[in-house]
Amino acid sequence: MELDISWPVLWTGLFWPLIRLTFFISLGLFVGNLIESLHWTRYAAIVAAPLARRARLKDISAASFSMAFFSGIAANTLLSEAYDKGAISDRELIFSNLFNSLPTYFLHLPTIFFIAAPFIGSAATVYVGLTAFAAVLRTFAIVLAGRFLLPPLPEGCLPCQLEEMDKNRDNSSALKKTWKRFRKRLPKVLYLTAPIYTFFFVLKQVGVFTGLQEIMAGQGGLFSFLPPEALGIIAFHMFAEFTAGLAAAGAMITDTSLTQSQVVLALMLGNLLSSPMRAFRHQLPYYAGIFKPRMAMKLIACSQTLRAVSIALVGAAYAFWI
């Protein structure tokens, strides 16, 4: 098929989407980083005390849960120190680490949403909502398991370590931190966005996806429930970065190659398949610095298994519902 590079096609299919994305990604990155820097997600920490009691977790686990809303490393450090002192057992450490799944996710939720929205529009709300629900599901699964697998605890209070941090928070420093992180992350996002958008534009124009559709027609397989265009989203999500998968998804939505539900399913599947690889690449270095290597591997394996199960269940339910 001949490549159509006329100005109307280039403007509507490539240049205007890139201009629009550049503006909204810039705005979204700044707002998302600002929310994280100001620790506004800390207000959700009020759920820690009742949830911890229901899960039969000790006060240190509740404090770690609260801390995880704005520092995963600090939260794990609390648990590591308690474990080394013998204050919590192996099982309590694993449960406490898994218990932090919800605040760890919500720590980065603003940035995830504000990056995803410019790429995939309203599909971002669905995708982020599904992954957030999976995080909620994981936490409540741990609460339920704790009721049966951990011994009863006397009533206790949630430590207030966070109050001093709030008193010492400097909003001007938060703005400086936001601007620094914004300047560091934006070029990386844009360096991925423009080439990937252009790449998918060219593939569409030369009929690559039409050829893939013909090759895959009538064939079964793991991804047979998705159109061939969605395989690119999954591949970029698995072998590149989250932003690369979003760029691929945005390109597919822009030229109406995929529906919103197909994009969401592709991103969910890419999320599921890419998680183990990214966990060992990003989590293991700092986990091994906080916990002993064997325990670090055990915590990562448990968290990724629970995460995979929750994402798979939520994704399957969404696929069945649509």
Q: Give residue-wise pLDDT tens across range 160-188.
A: 444 444 555 556 676 777 787 777 767 76
Question: With 0-12 CB in 10 A as exposed, 13-18 as middle and 19+ as buried, what is 116?
Answer: buried
Burial string for 123-137 (b: 16+ CB within 10 Å, else e) reads bbebbbebbbebbeb
pLDDT of residue 14 exceeding 90, the answer is: no
The two structure tokens encoding residue 90: 């192996």
Q: What long-range pairs does 173-176 form, CB within 8 A, spacing at least 24?
A: 174/34, 174/37, 174/38, 175/34, 175/37
Average pLDDT over residues 263-283: 78
Q: Are 224 and 278 in contact (CB under 8 A)?
A: no
CB atoms within 10 A of CB 9: 13
Q: Which uninterrupted H or E stretch holds 43?
A: none
Supply the pLDDT for residue 44.
45
Cα–Cα distance for residue pair 125/61, rounded to 1 Å: 31
Q: Which uninterrupted H or E stretch holds 247?
A: helix 242-254
Cα–Cα distance for residue pair 151/148, rounded to 1 Å: 8
Supply the pLDDT for residue 182.
73
Average pLDDT over residues 202-229: 59
Q: Are 150 and 95 in contact (CB under 8 A)?
A: yes
**The residue type at 20:** R
Cα–Cα distance for residue pair 77/73, rounded to 1 Å: 6
> With bands split at pLDDT 50, 70 and 90, how would you rate the model's confidence at 136?
very high
Q: Are 2 and 95 in contact (CB under 8 A)?
A: no
- How many Å separate Cα 70 from the centre of its chain? 15
**Which pLDDT tens digit goes with each residue over 230-244?**
776 776 666 556 777
* Closest listed residue to residue 55, CA positions, set 128, 202, 156, 177: 156
Average pLDDT over residues 296-310: 91
Q: Are 307 and 253 in contact (CB under 8 A)?
A: no
> With bands split at pLDDT 50, 70 and 90, how would you rate the model's confidence at 207?
low
**Which pLDDT tens digit goes with each residue over 95-112?**
999 999 888 888 878 878
